[in-house]
Amino acid sequence: MEQHLDQDSVPVAGSLDKSKVLNVKPLRQLVPVFPSAQNVSSFSNPQGAAPFVCTGPSGPFPPGVAPFYPFFFSPNEQNQQTPGGTPNSSAPFGLNSPISTAVPISSFRTPTEGTSTQNTGSRKNARSRGQLQGYSDSQNDDSQYFGMGINDREDSSKAGRKKKAKKKARNGQDINFTSDIDIDAMLNDMVSSYNLSVLDSNQQSHGSIEAVSSVLMVYELLRRRISQVEESKEPTPGIIRRPDLKTGAFLMTKGIRSNINKRIGTVPGVEVGDIFFFRMELCLVGLHAPSMAGIDYMGLKVSQDEEPVAVSIVSSGGYEDDTNDADVLIYSGQGGVNRKDKESTDQKLERGNLALEKSLHRGNEVRVIRGVKDFSNPTGKIYVYDGLYKIQESWVEKGKSGCNVFKYKLVRLPGQREAFLTWKLVQQWKDGNASRVGVIIPDLASGAESLPVSLVNDVDDEKGPAYFTYDAGLKYLKPVYSMEPSAGCNCVGGCLPGNLNCLCIQKNGGYLPYGSNGVLASQQSMIYECGPSCQCPPNCRNRVSQGGLKFRLEVFRTKGKGWGLRSWDPIRAGAFICQYAGEVIDSSKEKDSARDNEDGYIFDATRSYPNLEVISGDSDGPPRLPFPLVISAKNVGNVARFMNHSCSPNVYWRPIIRENKGEHDVHIAFHAIRHVPPMMELTFDYGIVPPESADGRKINCLCGSSKCRGFFC
């Protein structure tokens, strides 16, 4: 008897007519199905008939073709959907759940050997995990720009349109996500607003400090903006977004890069000790071309032939390298890696291994980039350019897998600035394995900060700065009232990305101004943080400047510029460093009096700050504050009072408005312009006094940069 299954039934063992199943022929024996023409058999295909048609297992089926188990349900059941247009989720899987829309073959990408397909969500081994979460450092992969554009799903047919998808958050908030933003158009608009005249054809080929700095700055601004936009979209299960790759691919296409031509030795514009948080940054500035492979090499003309020579290597823990010595690196060759999807094999003298062997005999210099652990990101790495090395010897030995591995001994050339050695020394200070030389006071802040601030002098006999009271906050001697109504947000559990119901997010242009790691993503001239009027908790993502110091800072004695400020920790571009603490001066009389007394601890937001335009892309000049803000840190202040001036700074400031009922609660927050290595001095531009306020007094500038104005006011 024929068995019928409705949408709520499940076949029971023994209740089916097994002959119907047993008589099903293998697919290779089935005759192709063609659409039936009039008076023509459905199993013939005369000349001129319609082309071959493939019928899906769930139909619809042409005349004469019947479905088979488990797809033999009625067309009504097949198309059954809920009133909202979604499939009926109550139906048993495999019985009447409609097959999802097929994806064109052209939308799939062939994975590189040894990598897992990201769409499956499977992470078969440690190497594939590295590719899903960040750049793999595999020396076994020669792909130059692997993974560009993976999972960057942008529907150009929906460009410029925004859709709001409502979702219930874990804390009960209703979130209106914004999606379908044309990211490519957004990137084009952003790039057109930047002044990239320095990147002419010559700078693209050969590079300079200005060109490299511009490329890295643009990369970071675009990457953080993409992260901000994608985070505001409704999450898609199984999709891993890679703003770093998308940004790199975009800039490569636009030609916004430097040092395109490969070279042996130094790279113009890149200095020893420079740090990078993404492998794509190395590619864009020409320091190391492959985005995955650990060995970069080029062909060198020798007589009539061409032989490979190594130009750079990346050592970041993917292989059995010996990195204990700061001046000597024992580097493993590529290939033969022990992976679960492949058997281990002996390494071969080819590709990068051959290039290293040729470089040994030629004696050419090789750039070395060392990957170190990023303690702020458990799965991340920071890449340190450690300068030029020479290969001293090579040999073959048995690796942990039992297979032959090529080993190369590289020795650092003398006379270069310390880079990796500084990292090792700072880590010893942190671990307590070595003492910091020249410490006067272990904690200048006396516990007022979340982290201690050392006072160090290893230059002269000066015992410390003039007396002042350390205070991490900003003191308003009297409140400044706002004429505009002010209301805080109602995000009880904290402000979440994409929640357009949040009043603070609305004021920030529809996005949270900070990324999940606290890095400033917004390029607006004014940042609105949550404040006393808001219902969100102290650890809300929109209270970054209120959480205290995130880096271990030290006040140190400089050579010729008094006291300065630097960090033991690496600081990534956009990261919050500190705020400017002190007393707000609310009258021009007090301001002039402070200047007459040679108060060198004045922050004046009314000055012109040219470097802000580079960061924000704004052409409207300095941020327009609700009132003239001048802060004196002479008597009361924090670490910011020790930051020296530079005409080429690595720090910039942003005004922060915190919601505080009817008052203007404005603060000044400092962020990194670019990545700052440990122990590099932190500086910002003191600005230029407007012509109408200038009194002719100028202070000689000692910053020593190529763009030095010679003075500041």
Secondary structure of 229-243 as H, E, C letters: HHHCCCCCCCCCCCH
Write the CB contacts of 72 (distance below 8 Å, at least 6 apart in sequence).
5, 66
Task: Calculate mean pLDDT across residues 51-60.
Answer: 53
- pLDDT tens digit string along 182-212? 888 999 988 888 878 778 888 888 889 989 9
pTM exceeding 0.85: no
Write the CB contacts of 599 (distance below 8 Å, at least 6 apart in sequence).
632, 634
- pLDDT tens digit string along 361-384? 999 999 999 999 998 888 889 999
Q: What percentage of residues in the chain have a pLDDT greater than 90?
A: 47
| Residue that the structure tokens 């005004």 belong to | 655
pLDDT at 510: 92
Three-state DSSP at 185 gives: helix
Residue 460 and residue 438: Cα distance in Å, rounded?
A: 10
- Could you tell me which residue, 143 or 709, shows the higher pLDDT? 709
Domain boundaries, the chain: 183-261, 264-431
Residue 548 and residue 452: Cα distance in Å, rounded?
A: 11
- Band (pLDDT 50/70/90 cuts) for residue 393 is very high
Cβ neighbours of 685 (radius 10 Å): 23
- Joined tokens for residue 418: 């310390």
Average the pLDDT over each of 274-283, 299-308, 409-418, 452-461 and give the range with the smallest value.
299-308
Average the pLDDT over each of 316-330, 461-475, 588-602 and give the range with the smallest value.
588-602
- Could you tell me which residue, 3 or 289, shows the higher pLDDT? 289
Q: 412: burial class by Cβ within 10 Å (0-12, 13-18, 19+)? A: buried
pLDDT at 449: 95
CB 273 within 8 A of CB 418: yes
| Residue that the structure tokens 């007589």 belong to | 303
- Could you tell me which residue, 578 or 79, shows the higher pLDDT? 578
* 3-state helix vs strand vs coil in the chain, percent to 5: 20, 20, 60
pLDDT surpasses 60 at 356: yes
- Joined tokens for residue 3: 């068995």
The mean of the pLDDT values for the chain is 77
Bridge partner list, 305: 302
- The CA-atom distances, in angstroms, between 373 and each of 132, 152, 317, 376, 666 are 18, 27, 10, 9, 36
pLDDT at 358: 95
Q: 543: burial class by Cβ within 10 Å (0-12, 13-18, 19+)? A: buried
Bridge partner list, 364: none
Phi first, then psi, for residue 477 (nearest 5°) are -65, -25
pLDDT at 5: 43
Three-state DSSP at 322 gives: strand
- pLDDT tens digit string along 91-122? 333 333 333 333 333 333 334 444 333 333 33
- pLDDT tens digit string along 144-178? 333 333 333 333 333 334 444 455 444 455 555 55
SS (H, E, C) 233-296: CCCCCCCCCCHHHHHHHHHHHHCCCCCCCCCCCCCCCCCCCCEECCHHHHHHCCCCCCCCCCEE
Domain at 264-431: CATH architecture? Roll (2.30)
- Band (pLDDT 50/70/90 cuts) for residue 337 is low
Find the angle CA(513)-CA(517)-CA(522) to the nearest 5 degrees: 20
Q: What letter represents residue 698's amino acid?
A: K
Task: Calculate mean pLDDT across residues 568-594.
Answer: 84
Sign, CA dihedral 415-417-421-425, equals positive
- pLDDT tens digit string along 18-42? 444 445 555 555 555 554 444 444 3
What is the per-residue DSSP string for 503-520?
Answer: HHHHHTTSS-SB-TTS-B
- Could you tell me which residue, 165 or 141, shows the higher pLDDT? 165
